[in-house]
Amino acid sequence: MTRFTKVLVANRGEIAVRVIRGAKKLGYKTVAVYSEADRESLHVAEADEAVCIGPAPAKESYLVIENIIAAAKSSGAQAVHPGYGFLSEREAFAKAVQDAGLIFIGPDPHSIEAMGNKSASKIRMLKAKVPCVPGYQGDDQADETLVKESKKIGMPVMVKAAAGGGGRGMRLVHDENDLLASIQSARSEATNAFGDGQLLIEKAVMDARHVEIQVFGDRHGNVVFLGERDCSVQRRNQKVIEEAPSPAVDEALRKKMGEAAVAAAKAVDYVGAGTVEFMLARDKQFYFLEMNTRLQVEHPVTELVYGVDLVEWQLRVAQGEKLPLTQDEILKRRHGWAIEVRLCAEDAHANYMPQTGSVLRWRAPHGAGVRVDTYLRNNAVISPFYDSMQAKIMAWGEDRETARLRLLKALEDTTLLGVINNRDYLHALVSHEAFASGDFSTGFIGKYFPAEQVAAQKPTPKQITLAAVALYLDDAHRLAVANSLTPDFIGWHSSHECPAEFKLKWKDKEYDLDVLVHDGHRFSTTIEGQAVTVEVTRSDPAEFSYLADGVQGKARIAHDGDTVWIQAEGANWRYTDITLAAAQAAAAGSDGRILANSDGKIIAVHVKPGDVVEKGKTLVALEAMKMEFQLQTPVAGTVEAVSVTAGQQVKNRQLLVQIKPAG
């Protein structure tokens, strides 16, 4: 095989940064590709060279094969690393790279094709004697056939998109009466997401764990496994927490599952890094789910536990080298435990709505055993065009509890202000006693963190008071700078003390505060009947230290117009300062103005001017960060104007439909 010296990374975000840094460490020159939206992104700055491959939407840039091939040719790159997502599991992309005389750092096209369709891969795995979930994966895709086969298998069943991934096109069905609607819904979603409506039916293995095996093959006939990862903590069939090893797997089961995964890889002549995913039942029986023919998001926990660099292995194997270690050598290297969480720009309090905006303040955690993979930096822009995951925060320890405690501390030390994110939600998951025990299944989030419980969380009186303190200090610091005053003058007044009035808004709830300020550093107020006193001991524009209830705390802050972001008391909150704002309408949409709930793309418009609509009718479907949202009207009335069309890109809070409310 021809040796290469320059690698093009056909991806973006944290995985592009990870691969670029890994390749540079080994002495390779690197080339980044970027969309117009990513021109200032970190992966572009990290690479030796960079090539623009198109407009912001992925289908016009990161998913355009010919643009990436052209970028490799023009930059002189001899090899292409696909990362994960985008084109990484497209057989056509791997083939196009090879046909262009370049090296694809991944499996051969026929291996990707063999595992790309869940139905076809399951048939292949059954022939290879890999345990599979009982089900139907036939060619007859008529609705009545799928309903009949589902009943034959027995409830509950899982309806799955054959070409799918990421939880799209999947429906768990408990009642036979729901089968037809679930099949039709899954087929529609699969067709829209993957361009392929083929479905398969599988017996639903309830209260099971999701355990995957990392495999690796070379061109010398060697295939090995590097232990397992437990990815059971999922939401909407998407992974939230991953760890290695699994709390449910012992040495005997690890060997058995590893050998099954190797058999699966050998059945498709696999080369490079791959992952064989299984469902692990309570009785320790395991069943093949699918094979991901690429590097996984969660690969770092394997690296931490086995002391290897999987990107380095990918590069070496792509050069035609043998695997660096034998199976026995790998098994002997396993040491300790590692847990990873995915930091995402989403609002857990609002049904995990994707969020966009500029990063006002980013600080990654540090410490023993802590690793962070990210592309974030101050002033980075989180756009609506790509996945909501922004960083992976990991911790390693000699044992699981040490890793868990280190991860909790790492999350507490993580600062991401300017965009709503799931940091606090992740901390709650990792803190939960069921997760700490290691005894949980894929139903963990649904059981312990139901959406209504998460949505009901709100800031405490102390946290609200700290936001008012942050606003006061911000005004004081700016006044001092503008008038060349020393900090000693903050809080000085020539008359008697009187309350400072603040009106803060958190989501739809407003808080009126009368804060008595003593000497500019002692703040007292009452919120919802609770008296709160905060004494500021040190402050600067980015953070302040305070004493409350006898405990010293620290608040990190950021301001953006009338918005204040504050991280304190173990939580992140965003407030709007409406002290001087004009009165607002009673509720969003009550005036008939239907606004976009996020930056995104309109994928369907269901009304036209003149239509009479009832309260709750879906008017527009909007897609943001790979999620689809049905925007409904909170009022009945007549459609006066429709301002958007299908396929149009919109901004958050852009007017979409105007309704004249009835009555």
- In sequence order, the β-bridge partners of residue 417 are 361
Going 231 to 232 to 234 to 240, the CA torsion angle's sign is negative
* Residue 2 token pair: 């021809």
Q: Is 3 marked active-site? A: no
Q: Which of 232, 221, 7, 210 is nearest to 104 (CA)?
A: 7
CA atoms within 13 A on the CB side of 487: 9
User: Is 640:659 a contact under the CB 8 Å cutoff?
Assistant: yes
d(CA 418, CA 629): 23
d(CA 531, CA 315): 61
Q: Which of 583, 561, 591, 588 is nearest to 574 (CA)?
A: 561
Helix, strand, coil fractions of the chain, as percent rounded to 5: 30, 35, 35
Instruction: State yes or no: cis peptide before 156, omega within 30 of 0.
Output: yes
H or E element: which one contains 344? strand 337-344
User: Is 67:81 a contact under the CB 8 Å cutoff?
Assistant: no
Cα–Cα–Cα angle for 181, 184, 187, rounded to 5 degrees: 145
Catalytic residue chosen out of the listed positions 187, 294, 342, 404: 294
3-state secondary structure of 210: strand
d(CA 186, CA 178): 12
H or E element: which one contains 423? helix 423-431
d(CA 656, CA 327): 58
Which residues are catalytically annotated? Answer: 294
